[in-house]
């Protein structure tokens, strides 16, 4: 099963990909996370799908993808996790996962433009992301594996100038609406095991890796994180990026205004995001505060 979150006017709805990926069947939950919070969600979706007719679906060409998990309570990321990349950099394999946090505001949709203000070193990190399906707290790896609802595609777009201003990466990793996630979550019964992860800039392949070389597997990451904090349905864990980021190139290479970033995992789907880079100016530095109900500008 493939699930998406679609924009519907000012709101959103979750939907199941139907009819061989040509159409979405809307489901009665505002997003994938809300759907997963119902322990009976699989049965509910199957019943709705069985009763659906062609009139119930939204054709893919008319669907606008929201961030897959616009209300994710936790978005936890792992750095330095591809052993081939770590070895090629001459480093030792880590004993513990390097973890950092984002917020739901950091996420954006699979086809959205990524708008960055005030950074001149915008870099890419194509990643497999894991969607939590069951509550987990101090779980072992088997419990964690069982709690994975499915997988999706993410790009941990990183503002390297901000990331490296201090020892803590957070500020360069948490720019609002800069981490595309989607287009769908594929449930573990439809896709599991190892995935090929690829990133492209303007159609040129810049990153390619396979999750078989992860030091910390999805289940191990979820188990580890759950030792200190509870994970809940709809939380998202990004599993790290393979070699080929711009910062590691000689000379380093960063995204330019107008570039198109493509992130692809076979069996899940593809993100395609244009990048808009705005240097700070007097007008950009101060903006009218958003209203309390806006999630982003």
DSSP 102-117: E-GGGEE-TT--EEEE
Query: Nearest approach, Cβ of 12 to a second copy (angstroms)?
Result: 18
262-271: burial string, b at 16+ Cβ within 10 Å, e else: bbbbeebbbb
Distances (CA, A) of 265 to 72, 177, 207: 22, 21, 11
Query: Nearest approach, Cβ of 203 to a second copy (angstroms)?
Result: 29
Q: Looking at beta carbons only, is 37 or 274 nearer to a second copy?
A: 37
Q: Looking at beta carbons only, is 33 or 109 nearer to a second copy?
A: 33
Q: Looking at beta carbons only, is 23 or 29 nearer to a second copy?
A: 29
DSSP-assigned beta bridge partners for residue 100: 77
Q: What is the number of H-type helices and E-type strands within the chain?
A: 8, 18
Q: Looking at beta carbons only, is 40 or 54 nearer to a second copy?
A: 40
For the four alpha carbons of 155, 157, 160 and 163, in that order, the dihedral sign comes to negative
CA 203 – CA 261 distance, rounded (Å):
8
8-state DSSP, 140: -
CA 98 – CA 92 distance, rounded (Å):
13
Distances (CA, A) of 84 to 178, 208, 215, 238: 27, 11, 9, 18
Query: Nearest approach, Cβ of 131 to a second copy (angstroms)?
Result: 14
Query: Nearest approach, Cβ of 162 to a second copy (angstroms)?
Result: 7
Q: Looking at beta carbons only, is 61 or 288 nearer to a second copy?
A: 288
Query: Nearest approach, Cβ of 37 to a second copy (angstroms)?
Result: 6
CA 141 to chain centre: 22
Q: Looking at beta carbons only, is 209 or 233 nearer to a second copy?
A: 233
Binding site for a second copy (CB under 8 A): 37, 39, 73-74, 76, 79, 94-103, 105-106, 117-118, 134-140, 143, 147, 159, 162, 165-171, 174-176, 225, 227-230, 232-233, 284-287, 289-292, 294-297
Query: Nearest approach, Cβ of 136 to a second copy (angstroms)?
Result: 5
């Amino acid at each position: 099963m493939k699930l998406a979150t679609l924009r519907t006017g000012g709101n959103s709805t979750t939907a199941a990909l139907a009819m061989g990926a040509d159409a979405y069947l809307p489901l009665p939950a505002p997003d994938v996370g809300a759907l997963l919070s119902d322990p009976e969600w699989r049965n509910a979706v199957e019943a709705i799908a069985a009763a659906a007719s062609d009139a119930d679906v939204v054709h893919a060409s008319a669907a606008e993808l929201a961030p897959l998990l616009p209300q994710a309570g936790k978005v936890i990321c792992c750095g330095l996790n591809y052993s081939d990349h770590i070895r090629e950099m001459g480093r030792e394999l880590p004993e513990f996962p390097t973890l950092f946090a984002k917020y739901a505001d950091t996420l954006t949709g699979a086809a959205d433009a990524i708008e960055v203000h005030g950074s001149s070193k915008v870099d890419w990190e194509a990643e497999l992301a894991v969607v939590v399906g069951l509550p987990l707290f101090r779980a072992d790896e088997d419990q964690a594996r069982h709690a994975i609802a499915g997988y999706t595609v993410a790009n941990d777009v990183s503002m390297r100038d901000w990331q490296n201003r201090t020892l803590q990466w957070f500020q360069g990793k948490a720019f609002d609406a800069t981490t595309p996630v989607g287009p769908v979550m594929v449930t573990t019964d439809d896709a599991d095991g190892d995935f090929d992860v690829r990133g492209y800039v303007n159609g040129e392949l810049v990153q390619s890796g396979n999750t078989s070389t992860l030091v910390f597997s999805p289940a191990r990451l979820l188990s580890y994180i759950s030792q200190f904090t509870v994970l809940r349905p709809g939380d998202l864990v990004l599993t790290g990026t393979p070699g080929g980021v711009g910062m590691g190139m000689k000379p380093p290479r960063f995204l330019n205004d107008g570039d198109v970033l493509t992130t692809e995992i076979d069996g899940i789907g593809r993100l395609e995001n244009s990048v808009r880079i705005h240097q700070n100016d007097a007008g950009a530095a101060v903006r009218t505060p958003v209203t309390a109900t806006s999630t982003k500008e």
